[in-house]
Amino acid sequence: MTSSASSRRAMSSSDLGSPLVALSPLAPVSPAFFAGMAGCDQKSSAGAASGGSSCSSLAEAGAVGGEVEPREPDLFAAFFVLGAASDVTFNALVLCVPYLRQTLGKRVLLEMGICQFAGSTGAMLLLLAFASEAVARPRLKRHLVMQLLALGTMMLLNVFVLSCALLGRKLPAFPLLVLLLLGGISSGTMQSLVAVLAGLMTKFTRHDYAAAAQMSGHGFGILLPSALQLMLLAPSSGLVSPALAAGCSAALGVCVLCLAVGVLRWLQWQASYRTCAAGGVAALSGSQEIEDLFANRFAGWLQARFWQLLVVSAALALNFAFTVYCGQLTPFLPLASASGSSFGAQLPTLLLSITNVCDFAGRWVAARLLRVNSSRPSVVAVLLIGRSAMVVVVTLYAKGLLPASANEGPGVVWVLAFGYAVNSTLSGLVSVGLTQFGQEKCMRTGGANMDTATGLPCPIAAQVMWLASVVGSISGTLITMLVY
């Protein structure tokens, strides 16, 4: 798989944040780069859909073999906002370490991570277990109610933090943890249900950019609060109080969530939404055979792809574990705990913001490079080994085993910022490189029986690798708990 067209098709399917977007292992997905990196190569996706396959009925059911509709700015913006809304709450609050540390102590990121990952992963896995049913016979009115409840729950969490910050009060621990857990459940629910609608619109109403817009929104939901915190940390802004910084982040979350509520209400009146709500795959494709195929073969497709991608998924899980582990270490760094350092309390926020921005940049660079080249596993392996060496250095520094551990000078801040920037950039490069390689591998075994080479990317492979990223994130949190 060396052609640029094949590389573009594989890259366009790296939609790991949308576990329910797939209809079959053969069905094309809309162009979406890994975890928020959206590719807008609409012609590549449309061309992949029109390329023949051994399972022509599935391709015909997708109804995307003809010309792709021109992008409708309103619908693209709608899915962009919904994607951002599912991520912005946690990513805004996780950067408020100085304020939340008053309640949760040094283990603030550990406890927040447990609540988020446990809640979102549980919700996504539960919905993934019913993926074939959700796509074959979607009940979009029920989904709409669930999405509104999820947005309301995340808004309640933001309002709770905003109120306490404005009043200058310390957050009570138990209500905060309960709301964080509910927020995680709501985040996973939003991502999954929006992905179902995006997948249906991609295949049956020719809105080939729906999932791409959602994944772009995911990235924006991570970058927006990071950019806000970096502006608040700028020397020209002065040293902003922890309560004010947390209040700004929570207010930002409230604004995005309110916009998402309006978007959901607007979306249900659109013709394309009503078309998808009219029936499942059988109604939209005019073939009951297609619906039966999804119901009977989905579990087998998922199992086969799992074993095929075991090594790739293990490497991807390790990469995510490194990223989460380094992020969880920031409150335990010597400089972050130094009483004589005026910037120590803000250090975790700075390093986490740099991590988010540079990880996104690494994915963007890798995505652009791989649009014209196939992946090179040897290069990805070297980058991953380099990351492991950097993780060891950060761990030794956090444990006070390096000479620099006792240094509280400003130069240490610059060294840490540079180290985290390099490490997170490598994380983005490795993430995209692994997903590209996994897709190229699966494209050699496509078709309904998974025995035919095809030019179409495999969305079930994206689901398997998404699960690997979740396992890696949880593992990084658990390792930090054991070490500290």
- Average pLDDT value for residue range 110-129: 85
Rounded CA separation 394/402 (Å): 9
440 vs 138: which has the higher pLDDT: 440
- Average pLDDT value for residue range 418-428: 92
- Average pLDDT value for residue range 166-170: 90
- Average pLDDT value for residue range 287-305: 65
- Average pLDDT value for residue range 418-434: 91
Provide the β-strand partners of residue 446.
452
Q: Which of 24-28, 102-106, 251-255 has the highest mean pLDDT?
A: 251-255
Q: Which amino acid is at 260?
A: A
Given a cut of 70, whether residue 479 has pLDDT beyond it is: yes
- Average pLDDT value for residue range 431-436: 86
3-state helix, strand, coil in the chain (%, to 5): 75, 0, 25
User: Per-residue confidence at 251, pLDDT binned at 50, 70, 90?
Assistant: very high
476 vs 409: which has the higher pLDDT: 476
Given a cut of 50, whether residue 65 has pLDDT beyond it is: no
Own/partner contacts of 140-149, CB < 8 Å, gap of 24 or more, are 140/197, 140/273, 140/276, 140/277, 141/277, 143/193, 143/196, 143/197, 144/264, 144/268, 146/189, 146/193, 147/189, 147/190, 147/193, 147/194, 147/264, 148/261, 148/264, 149/186
457 vs 218: which has the higher pLDDT: 218
261 vs 127: which has the higher pLDDT: 261
Q: What is the mean pLDDT of the chain?
A: 75
Measured CA distances, 424 to 368, 375, 383 (Å):
17, 19, 11
User: Per-residue confidence at 423, pLDDT binned at 50, 70, 90?
Assistant: very high
Cα 402 from chain centroid (whole Å): 34
- Average pLDDT value for residue range 213-239: 79
- Average pLDDT value for residue range 261-290: 71
58 vs 268: which has the higher pLDDT: 268
pLDDT > 90 in the chain, percent? 28
Tokens of 90: 């946690």
Cα 193 from chain centroid (whole Å): 14
Cβ neighbors of 352 (< 8 A, separation 6 or more) are 94, 95, 97, 226, 327, 330
Given a cut of 70, whether residue 346 has pLDDT beyond it is: yes
Phi, psi angle pair for 68, to nearest 5°? -80, 135
Per-residue pLDDT, 30:
30
Work out whether the CA dihedral 341, 346, 348, 353 comes out positive or negative.
negative
Count the residues in the chain.
Answer: 484
DSSP for 25-89, please give it. SSS------GGG-----HHHHHHHHHS--S-HHHHHHHT-SSPPPPP-HHHHHHHHHHHHHHHHH
225 vs 124: which has the higher pLDDT: 225
8 Å CB contact between 162 and 247 = yes
8 Å CB contact between 210 and 201 = yes
Place of tokens 């309390």: 345
Per-residue pLDDT, 389:
92
CATH topology of domain 4-483: Growth Hormone; Chain: A; (1.20.1250)
User: Per-residue confidence at 341, pLDDT binned at 50, 70, 90?
Assistant: low
Predicted TM-score of the model (pTM): 0.75
- Average pLDDT value for residue range 295-313: 78
Per-residue pLDDT, 205:
64
Of 171-175, 323-327, 445-449, the least confident: 445-449
What 3-state DSSP class applies to 306? Answer: helix
DSSP for 236-303, please give it. GG----HHHHHHHHHHHHHHHHHHHHHHHHHHTTSHHHHHHHT--HHHHHT-HHHHHHHHHHHHHHHH
Given a cut of 90, whether residue 360 has pLDDT beyond it is: no
